[in-house]
Structure 1
């Protein structure tokens, strides 16, 4: 056993090992993509960009995301860690880059989870209004569901994961059945034209605008990596989980988008002018049972709350254990063996951001802003970790280095994420989006300064990349 693994064994802050099997990990990664809510909110914008070629664009987005998932899988095969990208990058580029990425990761997670919390409040309010005709308060709903979600996460990773996956399974069943009805009720419109490469790429500008939107629903596909310390046989199970999640998600997205286009009878107006195009089309196929789609959106967001809090807390817990953040954040509940301190901090911090921005600017604006600003540093981290993979394998596992898996795929992963990255920081965007690039730069500079301080003042207490999950 080498020194790195001894560091893991010696720690007194252990999570409950072996709690999650490969299919549970797959479900968590899949649930983190929130397919119902992702489809409801992005489909109209994608169709506005590429027309009826949307199914093909989602297929290409899934293939593109596969290259990044490969990076997560290959790192997890050698050094699975609750720190995921912070661990992988630290082992490749050292403490300075690892600490800077850790600060960026924390900033991104708080904003992205704040956006998830806002979704829970507003979508629950919308669902109750549509089904029952009753007006409710999004803020109260958000606080209640966040409180319940945090309590479930603290009460055990197995419990919270089972509930999240159960909610997720319901949304998938509804999406599949609803999409099936859309197709079979309009069989005369079945056509392969939505998969025409010629038609899709005849509008390069539209593809450029829509491709980032098609990528975003896949962003959570690698989050099983953060559950490494609680996984059964993590070196193997995480690889299977992330590849399973991206494969199944791609199939689901393509099928549902294709079904929506068929169900609309190729009516561009319905697809681009409705607030939620998939729900509008489903009304024709499901009639009075369309309420199931509203509930599927709700279970999608509630499941996302559980998996997002759990994933972010594991990263925070690992950064604390490695000396980057306060040591108390790595405290584990004696009974439930969950990182309760990290769970509370991430929930309270994100809830505070959601409440403040939501009350001042409204929940919809707050959702758009926190989601966009949180995505920028996350995409930069994706680019860095893809660059880190060949460096790590050449330095540490040269005998296992593969030109395809450890060089070609990660380079493609980098290039793919440059497209959505540019779309979020390109000049000429309206306020406040025009400040998001500078804000991200300020976070990066703060991370660099903090890394210099830590390395110079606390070098002996830093253990970046050392805490990895052991095989059973």
Structure 2
């Protein structure tokens, strides 16, 4: 999504994603191990704690507690900015390339930011909180929306992984590399099947038991809409992603 705003995106975007993934993974492992040590490897105590890392600091390094709270607050704002940035650009690109109404592709003349898409996403997010926030606890609402949103995202990633080798062999055969364009996508697909099953596994309590049906219905409507648009505009498939490809 940010490829066209990046220098040498084909090199720098994958590099940034790889470095960020490894760094975050290493930090997570370190914090998890430090928390386990602070609880003296007591699994029951860790399970009984609502915020294990904070409780670990209270018992072992109380002076760092303020740092943990500041880090948590910073993380919340970072997540909000990241989510708004990514979702706004999905709407922006979809409007610019004809998948959604064209006004989503409008940008601020001064700041060159996708203002319509950004404020649309913010308005929808606020509306969800206003409508459901009165009767649902914040943590529960986060779990509901996160689960419902994760199902179609994982399915989209799976389809993209499976389509990559076919696309490369069809359009860029000379650049095709088995390790990068076949083995890694198939490995990624296999690794994502387990969390997907955890989200759609039968027998889950309400409302999680209806989320798979809702997600599949949304994907079906999106597929129908895409088919209709492609019939009306035969060149639409070539336009999608053209700005990123030219970056």
Alignment TM-score, normalising by the size of structure 1: 0.50
Q: Whole-Å Cα distance in 2 between the matches of residues 456 and 390 of structure 1?
A: 25
CA-CA distance at 1:470 after TM superposition: 4.2
Are the counterparts in 1 of residues 84 and 121 from structure 2 also a CA contact under 8 Å?
yes
SS of aligned partner of 1:338: coil
1:465 corresponds to 2:241: yes
The aligned counterpart of 1:416 is 191
Give the Cα separation in 2 of the matches to 1:283 and 1:445: 49
Q: Work out the CA distance in 1 between the residues paired with 2:136 and 2:147.
A: 15
Could you list the structure 1 runs, at least 4 aligned residues long, displaced by more than 3 angstroms after superposition.
458-462
CA distance in 2, matches of 1:315, 1:228: 12
Task: Give the corresponding residue for 1:247.
Answer: 22
Q: Does 1:268 align with 2:28?
A: no
Aligned counterpart, 1:93: none
Residue correspondence of structure 1 range 421-432 to structure 2 within 5 A: 421-432=196-207
Q: Contact 1:234 / 1:470 at 8 angstroms: preserved in 2?
A: no
In the other structure, the counterpart of 1:387 is 162
Of 454, 462, 465, the residue aligned with 2:229 is 454
- Point out where structure 1 has 5 or more consecutive residues left out of the alignment: 1-225
User: Residue 469 of structure 1: CA displacement?
Assistant: 5.4
- Structure 2: which 5+ runs fail to align? none
Q: What's the counterpart of residue 128 of structure 2?
A: 353
How far residue 231 of structure 1 moved from its aligned partner, in angstroms, is 1.2
Higher RCO, 1 or 2 (CA under 8 Å, sep at least 6)? 1
Q: Residues of 2 paired with 1:306 and 1:453: CA distance?
A: 34
Per the alignment, in what secondary structure is the counterpart of residue 335 of structure 1? coil
Q: Report the number of matched residues.
A: 246
What residue in structure 1 maps to residue 173 of structure 2? 398
1:7 — aligned with what?
A: none
Which stretch of structure 1 is more off in the superposition, 432-441 or 388-397?
388-397
CA RMSD of aligned residues (A): 1.5
Show the counterpart of 2:150. Answer: 375
Q: 1:461 to 1:419 in 2, by over 3 A?
A: closer
User: TM-score, normalized by length of structure 2?
Assistant: 0.94
Q: Deviations over 1:362-399 (max 9, x none)?
A: 32221110111111111111111111221121112212
Residue in 1 that maps onto 2:89 = 314
Shift of the 312–444 alpha-carbon distance from structure 1 to 2, 3 Å rule, reads same
Please list the CA deviations of residues 393-451 of structure 1 after superposition, one character each: whole Å capped at 9, or x if unmatched.
11122122222111111111101111000111111100100000100111011112212
Quote the Cα distance in structure 2 between the aligned partners of 1:303 and 1:269.
32
Contact 1:358/1:365 (<8 A) preserved: no
CA contact under 8 A between 1:234 and 1:469: conserved in structure 2? no
Q: After superposition, where does 1:9-24 map in structure 2 within 5 Å?
A: none
Matched residue, 1:18: none
Shift of 1:298: 1.0
Alignment of 1:116-155 (within 5 A): none
Matched, 1:293 2:68: yes
1:359 is paired with a residue whose SS is: coil
Aligned equivalents of 2:91, 2:13: Cα separation in 1: 19
